[in-house]
A and B are shown apart, each in its own frame.
Chain A
Amino acid sequence: MDLLALCLVFVPVVLFFVLMFTGEKSAYLITVISAVFFLLCTVALIVTPEPVILPVPSLLWRILTLATVSLIFWHSVRDKQLIISVITFIQAVILVVFEIVSLQAEPDNFLAPTLREKLLLLCGTLTILIFMPFVIYLLKKYYSGASFRIKRFGMGILLLLSSFAGLISSNSVTGLFLFWQWQYIAGCLLLKVYGNTYGNAGAKNVFLRTFPYMQQTALTLFLSAGIAAYYITGSMSMQDFRDFGKLSEFLALIIYVTAVLMGLLIPENYVYRFDSAKAVPAAGMYLVIFSLIVPYAVLAKFRPLFHNLTGSVISLMIIYGGILVFAGAYFSLSGYRNRHSILNLIMSMSGLAVATVFKKLQSSIRFLSNNPLPLLLVIAGIVLTAAYIIMWISSIFTAHTGHTSEINEEHPVASIIPFNINFDLIIKIGYITTAALTLGVSLLCMK
């Protein structure tokens, strides 16, 4: 196993436990040091041509996975979250049975990032370092003295770093499952810093309230799909996943849905969960890492499987990415003075990442030739993004004269696209139709 990749995953975890016993100032210091260390390790990982191999017994990963699931189960029981408790209990049972009965060993290269993945790691690390000063500034401004929150923040960031490195570097399905669970915990910790909890965030919105359940269900399905794949191919490594016969489309759908749900790539109103302005930089950082970079990297890991599919399911997945590009850009433009507009723009870019991840490495034939709809959606999204940028820059130069409210009363999109079109409704129908069609096509392939 690559020693540097191992450091990227485990050093933040060690610091996570150190941080539990420190004060507010130490929390800031440890967070910053770990981020800088993360950057240095990533750079070293890129410039080192030959990885330093350190053998790690696969038992360690099995214990860690089971311990993580058990921890979430224990917390859910304590927080009276019955559904999460049931789902994590099922996960624990699956893990115990599978690991005892079937699993011989994890792949040798459990953590071994490719050059492209190393570059994605570097992008993510730089993003974290760019966002970090703003996040810390707002924390100091609003939560100075609230050491409980600051420690939670530090712990959340450290686990975020660790899970990010793990998700990018992992070559095993169980590895992805483990690090997505760490991401889930990191998300819980960060939400608690800003006054929300995962279970009841946006209590009025049923969709937001049930979202953690959907995430854990997707992870359970993903774990089951990984086990099914192991029985067919005899390996847990994604590189060996090529053809599962009739099951291929359905397994691909489960992988895709997990990447979408864990990446928060769901209808855009999810970003409004980060309701407070002081949470926006932290939310932006979280979205760039887990909605943009990680889904792209994870889906790219499954390219051997995706390239062997018949095409119809892939086309629908690309259309979903296209809708996401359009929806993100549309909501950015419609709320261009809103603090969430930048988060919607990140969603839009994530959609582009999802739509383009399926293209063949040497050509863009699949993206361009299969279906005209995604390209039209992507173009519409890019155009709306350009309009958003113009409006946003213009608002910087606007001299306030009192006429502004008169002009701004009109909906920004309605004022530049003068049609009476309910884009909100179209976007929602687009999401639902595409999801239903993808599920239908996947199930039909199993006949």
Chain B
Amino acid sequence: MHEIIWFLAVILSVPAIYIAYNYINTLMPGQSRTYILQPVYRLLKLFEKKDDGDNFLAYFFSAGSCLFALIALYMTVSGYNFLFIVSVLSMMDLLVITGAVSSSEFSGRISAKRGLSRFVVWLFTSMVASASVYKIAGTLKLDELAHLSESSGLIVNLPFTFISLFVILLMKGNLLHFDFGLSGDELSVFGDALFSPYSGWSLAVIQLAQWTEIGVWLKILSAFLPVTKAVSYIIVSLLYLTFLILDRFVSDIEWKKAARLSWGWAAGLSIINFIYLFYY
């Protein structure tokens, strides 16, 4: 029962963050007022739209990725092993990227390569981070990590690991200088991004999968803070919302530069923490 409540809470919290962001955005000078539930409204409209029907595999890939995202979320709220969750998220990415490659569109394939680049960064970072966590805590189970964080402040020994995992969250949210140009709002001609083969309800399902994945990372990060689970989750969510807003004031950069910065901030910091734990 406890898991189900958390599962629903996380699923609902991510759209709530985007709604809050949308609301704050409309308060900015020069912005026109929009419907307060605009992000959810857009999603519902997508479900109502008819698929173009050209790419049957797109249905399969979108449904598969959403399924894996939901499994990852369930595993996260149940406190499963961090590496298992990373494996399931890898499967989700595999399906999204394969779907983009399978499209007959040039931009889809180009963005699939960017997706693969992002995948390599976050997978490497997660694995190094898990090695650091295991070295300190002797376990990778998220519920045990949350207890340890509460009792002994795990983050004191893993500050860079925490930052690197947060950078993964920013990469997944296409924020700041960690935007690989996959969200479709890039200025270049290849801006159709990873979602180009998807349309209609399959695109909506992909959107749901992305939101669920954001929720998974928020929940993972909340296991590192030395406060109770609920408070920790709220803090991490507010932090994410802050970066969402901050993103409006940061210019877009070319995706290769974003990849290099991601390697430096995500992978680099996790390696520094890992090596630090070995020698100190």
Contacts and interface: CB of A to CB of B under 8 A. Distances in A.
Interface string B105-141: 0100110110011011001100110010011000000
Interface in A364-387: 368-369, 371-372, 375-376, 379-380, 382-384, 386-387
A276 to B, nearest CB: 29
Interface stretch (B11-19, B245-253, B255-263): B255-263
A48 interface: no
Contacts of B263: 417, 419
Given A403-B106, A418-B260, A419-B260, A394 B120 contact: no
Nearest to B257: A418
Contacts, number: 83
A417 B120 contact: yes
Interface stretch (B26-34, B41-49, B95-103, B209-217): B95-103
A391 B113 CA distance: 9
B75 interface: no
Contact of B117 (A369, A395, A415): A415
Contacts of A391: 116
Majority SS of interface residues in chain A? helix
Given A386-B123, A401-B104, A418-B260, A394 B97 contact: yes
Given A398-B101, A399-B104, A380 B112 contact: no
Contacts of B275: 372
Nearest to B114: A416
B235 interface: no
Given A372-B278, A416-B120, A418-B256, A394 B127 contact: no
Contact of A407 (B97, B109, B119, B278): B109
A416 B113 contact: yes
Majority SS of interface residues in chain B? helix
Nearest to A401: B104
Given A368-B131, A383-B124, A418 B104 contact: no
B117 A397 contact: no
Interface residues of A, number: 31
A29 interface: no
A346 to B, nearest CB: 22
Contacts of B232: none
B97 A390 contact: yes
Contacts of A361: none
B90 interface: yes
B271 interface: yes
A397 B131 CA distance: 34
Interface string B72-97: 00000000000000000010011001
B131 A375 contact: yes
Interface string A389-431: 1110111011101010011000000011111000000000000
A395 B97 CA distance: 11
B57 interface: yes
B160 interface: no
A410 to B, nearest CB: 8
Most buried by B among A391, A417, A418: A418
A376 B274 contact: yes
Given A399-B104, A418-B260, A387 B120 contact: yes
Nearest to B100: A394
A369 to B, nearest CB: 8
Nearest to A403: B106
A376 B57 CA distance: 36
A8 B98 CA distance: 45
B102 A376 contact: no
Given A368-B135, A379-B124, A419-B263, A387 B116 contact: yes
Nearest to A394: B101
Contacts of B259: 417-418
A415 B271 contact: no
Contacts of A419: 260, 263
Interface in B41-61: 57
A416 B97 CA distance: 13
Nearest to B104: A399
Interface in B259-280: 259-260, 263, 271, 274-275, 278
A91 B106 CA distance: 62
B274 A372 contact: yes
Nearest to B279: A372
A415 B275 CA distance: 28
Interface in A12-40: none
A393 B113 contact: no
B18 to A, nearest CB: 28
Contact of A386 (B90, B110, B134, B271): B90
Given A384-B120, A387-B119, A417-B117, A376 B98 contact: no
Contacts of B260: 418-419
11 contacts: A372-B278, A376-B274, A379-B128, A379-B131, A386-B123, A387-B116, A387-B120, A395-B101, A415-B113, A417-B120, A419-B260
Interface of A: 368-369, 371-372, 375-376, 379-380, 382-384, 386-387, 389-391, 393-395, 397-399, 401, 403, 406-407, 415-419
Which 9 A-B pairs rank lowest in CB-CB distance, beginning with the nearest? A394-B101, A397-B102, A418-B256, A416-B117, A379-B127, A383-B124, A399-B104, A372-B278, A403-B106
